Amino acid sequence: MFNFFDELKKTTKIDGNAYNIVNVSGKILYVEGHLGICQLSQDIISFKTKGAIIVVEGQNLKLFELMDKTLKITGKIKRVEEM
């Protein structure tokens, strides 16, 4: 089965164990590779990844865990930053 992230990583030689984030129109954030939630509120959600903490800022943020290391954040996403 074709995996978009795997194909990108092969062609760019990126660490296959790193996280993946897709921002869909500033309303949905899809995340693969999270290692736990650090902070959870309607304005800020932060989570651990291999080697970094990702901070998502916005309004009316809601967190949905899809699978063990995969999650979805919905709301008005204003900023995503790696710390």
- Averaged over successive runs of 10 residues, the pLDDT of the chain (83 residues) comes to 70 72 95 94 96 95 92 97 94
Q: What is the pLDDT of residue 14?
A: 66
The H helix count followed by the E strand count for the chain is 1, 6
Q: Residue 12: inside a domain, yes or no?
A: no
Quote the CA–CA distance of 27 and 69 in Å, as a whole number: 20
The answer to the question of residue 9 being in a domain is: no
Domain annotation covers residue 30: yes
CATH number, residue 63 = 2.60.40.2000
Rounded distance between C-alpha atoms, residue 79 and residue 56, angstroms: 6
pTM comes to: 0.84
- The answer as to whether 53 is a domain residue is yes
pLDDT at 57: 98
- At 24 the pLDDT is 95
- Any domain includes 6: no
The per-residue pLDDT for 10 is 74
Give me the pLDDT at residue 68, please. Answer: 87
Q: How many domains does the chain have?
A: 1
Q: Which domain holds residue 62?
A: 17-82
